[in-house]
């Protein structure tokens, strides 16, 4: 495409659109219709320039012009409590539900990996010896040892806040690193499962696996589910780069990216709940069965939230993406 010829042919339209935008609300009906038509044509021009003859200055000018026109055509709105309620009752659970084909297999395979690591360590004393000296391992696994005192080593409130922050960072990493073809997500998952497997193996080798599970399950069920959801979403985001589906790669990645951002907010709330359980329930004096029952109840509540509310919203067409009015304009694809 000859850029100079293209600019000469369409500059008058761009200038006319800029003039109408400067007039703001003082447009009559015919001028408003003209503004919409010019906005659509300019968006198409921008798409053509970006794909055929990218020019930084011209692209910047038309991008700004299209953004101003879109704001005028679609209008602006302010977020409200209604948006938050809609997000929590439809958008977030729908996004989790729609990505279940990614995070459910991720959860199953990761749990199996942790169990295999735990079995390998627990049944092979030589592997335990490679992890630490006998005295160190006894200090970690004995009654009142490091595995047990870890959950009561700090005041409950500060410990819950610390746990929440650390887990939220892990979830954010899974979501962000998914854009790198999902490979770093697998590394984050492996580290988490390795840590869990080592704990299982060492405590099983000391004959105290029941104690370990009694400490991990109350908060770990919900916490690990949040990590698995984040990892599955990150892997799905990475796969979008490989197979964007029927839309353009840019549009598909933008949609999945927006859903991932919403997922991060929702999972932060889920991790807040698991952090409260880990800070106040896990180290409490409640019987083991009661602590585990609380963890199972929290997990079942989350799954019901996803499969009931999320399933209903997904079947109604909710994708977990932001409202159309809040999205960036998607430029038409040149034929």
User: 257 pLDDT exceeds 80?
Assistant: no
Residue pair 47/54 in contact (Cβ under 8 Å)? The answer is: no
Rounded Cα distance between 153 and 159, Å, is 8
Rounded Cα distance between 12 and 10, Å, is 5
Q: Please, what is the angle between helix 183-205 and helix 134-141, to 10°?
A: 90
pLDDT digits (tens, 9 = 90+) for 261-292: 888 889 989 999 998 998 899 888 899 999 99
Range 128-137 average pLDDT: 90
Model-level pTM?
A: 0.72
Tell me the three-class secondary structure of the chain, residue by residue: CCHHHHHHHHHHHHHHHHHHHHHCCCCCHHHHHHHHHHHHHHHHHHHHHHHHCCCHHHHHHHHHHHHHHHHHHHCCCCCCHHHHHHHHHHHHHHHHHHCHHHHHHHHHHHHHHHHHHHHHHHCCHHHHHHHCCHHHHHHHHCCCCHHHHHHHCCCHHHHHHHHHHHHHHHHHHHHHHCCCCCHHHHHHHHHHHHHHHHHHHHHHHCCCHHHHHHHHHHHHHHHHHHHHHHHHHHHHHHHHHHCCCCCCHHHHHHHHHHHHHHHHHHHHHHHHHHHHHHHHHCCCCCCHHHHHHHHHHHHHHHHHHHHHHHHHHHHCCCCCCCCHHHCCCCCCCCC
Residue pair 226/167 in contact (Cβ under 8 Å)? The answer is: yes
Confidence bin at 76 (pLDDT 50/70/90): low
Of the given ranges (46-55, 58-67, 208-217, 231-240), which has the lowest mean pLDDT?
A: 46-55
Confidence bin at 335 (pLDDT 50/70/90): very low
Tokens of 112: 């199996």
Does the CA dihedral 55-56-58-62 come out positive or negative? positive
User: 58 pLDDT exceeds 90?
Assistant: no
Task: Concatenate the DSSP letters of all residues of 16-43 into one string.
Answer: HHHHHHHHTT---HHHHHHHHHHHHHHH
Residue 329 phi/psi, 5-degree rounding, is -65, 135
Tokens of 106: 């991720």
User: 325 pLDDT exceeds 50?
Assistant: no
User: 326 pLDDT exceeds 50?
Assistant: no
Burial of 264 (0-12, 13-18, 19+ CB in 10 A): middle
User: 166 pLDDT exceeds 90?
Assistant: no
Mean of all residue pLDDT scores within the chain:
84
Output the CA–CA distances (angstroms, integers) from residue 307 to 90, 187, 289, in the order listed: 11, 28, 26
Confidence bin at 205 (pLDDT 50/70/90): very high
Tell me, what's the pLDDT at 154?
Answer: 65
| List of residues 6+ apart from 58 with CB closer than 8 A | 3, 7, 49
């Amino acid at each position: 495409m000859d850029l100079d010829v293209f600019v000469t042919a369409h500059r008058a339209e761009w200038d006319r659109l800029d003039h109408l935008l400067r007039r703001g609300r003082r447009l009559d009906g015919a001028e408003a219709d003209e503004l919409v038509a010019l906005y659509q044509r300019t968006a198409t021009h921008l798409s053509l320039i970006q794909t055929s003859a990218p020019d930084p200055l011209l692209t910047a000018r038309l991008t700004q012009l299209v953004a101003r026109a879109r704001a005028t055509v679609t209008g602006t709105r302010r977020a409200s409590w209604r948006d938050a309620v809609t997000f929590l009752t439809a958008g977030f659970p729908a996004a989790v539900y729609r990505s279940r084909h990614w995070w459910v297999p991720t959860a199953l395979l990761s749990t199996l990996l942790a169990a295999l690591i735990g079995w390998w360590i627990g049944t092979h004393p030589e592997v335990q010896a490679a992890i630490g000296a006998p005295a160190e391992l006894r200090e970690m696994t004995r009654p009142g040892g490091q595995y047990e005192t870890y959950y009561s080593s700090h005041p409950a409130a500060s410990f819950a806040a610390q746990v929440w922050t650390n887990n939220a960072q892990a979830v954010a990493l899974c979501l962000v690193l998914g854009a790198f073809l999902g490979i770093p997500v697998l590394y984050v998952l492996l580290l988490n499962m390795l840590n869990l497997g080592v704990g299982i193996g060492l405590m099983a080798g000391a004959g105290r696996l029941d104690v370990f599970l009694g400490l991990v399950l109350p908060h770990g069920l919900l916490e690990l589910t949040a990590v698995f959801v984040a990892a599955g979403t990150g892997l799905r985001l990475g796969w979008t780069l490989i197979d964007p589906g029927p839309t353009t790669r840019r549009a598909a990645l933008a949609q999945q990216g927006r859903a991932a951002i919403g997922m991060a907010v929702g999972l932060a709330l889920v991790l807040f709940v698991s952090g409260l359980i880990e800070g106040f329930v896990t180290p409490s004096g409640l019987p083991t069965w009661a602590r585990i029952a609380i963890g199972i109840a929290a997990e079942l509540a989350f799954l019901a939230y996803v499969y009931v509310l999320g399933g209903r919203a997904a079947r109604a067409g909710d994708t977990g993406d932001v409202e159309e009015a809040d999205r960036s304009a998607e430029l038409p694809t040149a034929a």
